[in-house]
Structures are given as structure tokens and as C-alpha cells.
Amino acid sequence: MKLCWLDIRNVNGAKAAIVEEAVHQRVDAIVAADPADLEPLPPTVKKVLFPQNQPLPEKLHPADLVIVEPARHGDPAALAAQYPDVEFGRYVEITDADSLEDACRAARYDRWSLLYFRDPTKIPLEIVLAAAAGAEGSIVTQVADVEEAEIVFGVLEHGSDGVMLAPRVPGEATALKSAAVSRAADLSLVELEVTGIRRVGMGERACVDTCTNFRLDEGILVGSHSTGMILCCSETHPLPYMPTRPFRVNAGALHSYTLSANGRTNYLSELTSGGRVLAVDSQGKSRIVTVGRVKIETRPLLAIDAVAPSGVTVNLIVQDDWHVRVLGPGGTVLNVTELTAGTKVLGYLPVEKRHVGYPIDEFCIEK
């Protein structure tokens, strides 16, 4: 879980509404320049005092953590000895090579580092994260908006431990929290038993090309119904007549559902460049990947019918060709044209029905 800090130091008329929203959304910390702004906050939120460009107040209560500028306030370690009931962190503004080295040192040795990168490039943050690998402290990066927060969360795959955002209007705390928890949750896959395959004529199938190389036992979940999907294999494994395309999944007919970010489903037909889809491996570990392109072409189609141990039936319609594959238990690669009754494949059984891709508890029959 990534840390979400909300900076209310320069919030004007909407401060009360923004703070109320932040507390409701359970942001991790609220940052203020005046200890009085921290007084009414509940114990569920960390109270961070950051008197930037100001002297340190005589009384730090009720702050849990104080972010200091060492040149103005003193070294965090020395202050911690003076105020044993308060944590201290270091603020570093990165503008050149020397300040970048300061940030790397802070990330390696300080319990808390609040970093501001003046330039829009994320390379300095990459350097800091690499320098801090294995360190026990937390790195919080100041961001301009929620879109930048999403980028910061993913730098070097690990990302910053958290971000600090100064909201302009109510609603941004909710958006920030959503961005922080949009890391894909792992799924509980089940073994489905194939009951048969059948040719169903011509139709359009979709190849989903992503901006990421899939791992050997990784693909995307696809199914004709929202209540059951089969794990379709990527083209990571060698093929006899064509080069591997480890970024691609020959996924299925264009009407099929697949899982995307935040538990939503999308039809394969509506995936577009820049969209998101959920990559899942044979253990159910998931990650969100970006769609680069979707190729929809007319091909002969094959229907795969399967059943779960619970009795739920699953259907997947794919291109009728030997090189299209699904994944079985342990990441076994299975060519769809060679599936037979009794073959075990990996799948997922969402429990909710869907309305425009969102889960909903309502009466719905899919055939």
C-alpha cells in the first residue's frame, strides 16, 4: 500500500471539506505548517508538521512527525534527541547533482525523506530509489496532481513509498487514495475441467498487444460470461512458424470479457491504446499493464466449454488454431486445438454480475 499525504498548508476556503474528505478516505497523513491545524485531527491520521521557510515552533504538539529543512532547523537526528516523543524527517529539494546526492543520502539513512524534484524528469527519482534499495526509511515524493502520483507510484516498478499532494478542490483526496490502492489484488484461481471443444464458424477475434512483456506463466483472463474466465497464455513461448511476441495475448472473440483495473471488466472490442488490462500468472498474482494496440481480425473460431468444481460453467471462444494457447495448473502451456474432455485449465470465477463493466448485485442470466 502506498502512502498518501495531503498537504493543507496553502488550502483556502475549502480546507474543512478537504480535511473531512481526507479523514473519511483514511489518507495516511495530513501535512500542516501550523500545529493548530493538526489539533482537531483524529488518531487515525498521522499528523505531519512541515514549517517550510519558517522557524520551528516552540511547541510541536500534537505533531507525530516533523519534516525539517536541515539548513534552517537543524539535523533530524539531533532534533530527535531533543524531542524524544516526535519523529523527524528531512526535506530535500532536488535541483542539481549536489542536492540529488543529499536526497540519496537521506533516503539511505533517514527514517523519513520528503523529496521535491524541481524538474519534470523522473530520472533523479529513479537514482534515489536505486540508491535507497534495502534501506528501512520511507521516501515521500511531492507531486503536483493525481496523474503525477500514479507515475511516481510506478517508477522503477517499486515506486516511491508515498506521495504528498496539495489538493485544490474536494475530490482529489479520493482520487489520490484510489490511485494508491489501484495496484492489482491477487486473484484466487481455480482449476476448471474442460468438457469439450467445438468449432463455431467464422468471427472476429482480438489480439491484445500490451506495452509490457509477459512472463512465461502469465496471460490475461478471458471469458464469454462475466462469471467465469480462462487464463489465456501470452505468445512468450516459441512457435514453429513465427517469432515470439511476448507482449501479446491472442485472447479471444471480440465479445469476450477481460479484467482490467479496479476490478472492472471490459469487452476485448473496447480495449484501446493507452487502456489498462490485468495480467495474471498461474499463481493468481496480478499486475496492471497498459494496452498498446488491439488487433481485431476475422478468423475461424473454436469454443472451449469447461466446468468449475462448484458447478459453474465457463465458456471461451478463441481463434481455431494450434498456436493459440491457454494455461493449465502449474503454468502448463496447452494448445487449444488439443484440449480434450477432462483437461484441466486455470480460470477465475468472479461472483458479481456486470453492468457496463462494473460489478453489481442484480438478477442477470448469461447464456
The per-residue pLDDT for 107 is 95
Q: Each residue of 346-358: pLDDT tens digit?
A: 999 986 554 444 5
| DSSP secondary structure code for residue 5 in this structure | E
Closest-CA residue to 267 (of 354, 363, 192, 362): 354
Mean pLDDT of the chain: 91
The answer to whether the beta carbons of residues 212 and 247 sit under 8 Å apart is yes
Please tell me the number of Cα atoms within 13 Å of 154 on its side-chain side.
14
User: What is the full DSSP assignment across 91-126?
Assistant: EEEE-SHHHHHHHHHHHHH-SEEEEEESSS-SHHHH
Whether pLDDT at 158 is above 80: no
Residue 363 has pLDDT above 90, yes or no: no
Averaged pLDDT for residues 235-264: 90
* Residue 178, pLDDT score: 81
DSSP letters along 269-319, please? GG--TT-EEEEEETT--EEEEEEEEEEEEEEEEEEEEEE-TTS-EEEEEEE
CA dihedral (169, 173, 178, 179) in degrees, to 10, reads: 80
pLDDT of residue 357: 45
- Does residue 365 surpass a pLDDT of 70? no
Average pLDDT of span 264-274: 93
Whether the predicted model's global pTM rises above the 0.85 cut: no
CA 273 – CA 245 distance, rounded (Å): 17
pLDDT tens-digit readout, 180-205: 865 667 899 999 999 999 999 999 99
pLDDT for the residue 182: 54
Band (108; pLDDT cuts 50, 70, 90): very high
Could you tell me the CA-to-CA distances from 209 to 20, 206, 249, 270, 331 in Å, in that order?
Answer: 42, 9, 7, 13, 21
Res 315: pLDDT? 97
Question: Helix, strand, or coil here: 3?
Answer: strand
pLDDT at 119 over 70: yes
Is residue 122 pLDDT above 60, yes or no?
yes
Q: Cis (ω within 30 of 0) for the bond into 43? A: no
Does pLDDT of 98 surpass 50? yes
pLDDT at 208 over 60: yes
Backbone dihedral region of 41: left (phi > 0), alpha (psi from -120 to 50 degrees) or beta? beta
Q: Indicate where the chain has its CATH 3.20.20.390 domain(s).
A: 3-181
Q: Which of 11-25, 65-79, 185-199 has the lowest mean pLDDT?
A: 11-25
223 — pLDDT class (breaks 50, 70, 90): very high
Per-residue pLDDT reduced to its tens digit, 277-324 = 999 999 999 988 999 999 999 999 999 999 999 999 999 999 999 999
Q: How far apart are CA 50 and CA 112, in angstroms?
A: 12
Residue located via cell numbers 491484445: 208
pLDDT above 70 coverage of the chain, percent: 93
| pLDDT on residue 355 | 47
- Grid cell locating 42: 483524529
Straight-line distance from the first to the last Cα atom of the chain, in angstroms, rounded to the nearest whole number = 38
3-181 CATH choice from 1.10.10.10, 3.20.20.390, 3.40.50.1100, 1.10.1200.120: 3.20.20.390
